[in-house]
Amino acid sequence: MPHIRIFPHSRDEFPSLDMLATWLATALKARGGRYLIRSANAVADLSTGSIVLFRYSHVIVGEAVVHKYVREPMEDQTLLGHQTPYEAYVEFSLTSIRLFVPPFPVNELQAIVGDKPNITAAQPYYKLEDWRVYPELLAAHVEKSGAFLY
């Protein structure tokens, strides 16, 4: 069943917010929307049509819609050139990849989500199954004079 998932990003792989934003806006699209995941256990399921919110530290940087999720071991280079093993990948619909300008604060998303789950800790790939969160997130972002960059 499609759902909303939050993907955290490490400073080891993306040393700055700008590096992640640039990578999402350019390199992810240039790779055909293929996003590599180090551990297949981190994301057990990710149905077609699910929405992924890309998180960096205390902000949501962007989003994309899942086309498919494949568990398949491979090696590739990180943005910084380190050869790294990966266990799965997500292929996003290219036209769905967009950035939140400015990034949306996680604490404001937490207010929309409510108490459970507590998404303020940056580690897990949180799964949100309540779809009312998504239009409320978009409304809150636009209300604050937010825009989207495709």
Amino acid (1-letter code) at residue 141 = H
Q: Which domain holds residue 101?
A: 4-149
pLDDT digits (tens, 9 = 90+) for 84-133: 999 999 999 999 999 999 999 999 999 999 988 889 887 789 999 899 99
pLDDT band at 148 (very low <50, low <70, confident <90, very high): very high
Count the domains in the chain: 1
What is the distance between the alpha carbons of residues 87 and 69, in angstroms, rounded to a whole number? 11
Domain with residue 85: its CATH number is 3.10.590
What is the distance between the alpha carbons of residues 78 and 31, in angstroms, rounded to a whole number? 13
pLDDT digits (tens, 9 = 90+) for 22-41: 999 999 999 999 999 999 88
Radius of gyration, CA atoms only, the chain: 15
| Residue with more model confidence, 117 or 69 | 69
Q: Is the dihedral of CA 83, 84, 89, 95 positive or negative?
A: negative
Q: Kindly report the average pLDDT of the chain as a whole number.
A: 94
Report the relative pairing of strands 51-56 and 4-7 from DSSP bridges. Answer: parallel
Phi, psi of 51 (to 5 degrees): -110, 130
108 within 8 A of 43, measured Cβ to Cβ: no
- The CA dihedral of 50, 56, 61, 63, to the nearest 10 degrees, is -10
Question: What is residue 144's predicted lDDT score, i.e. its pLDDT?
Answer: 87
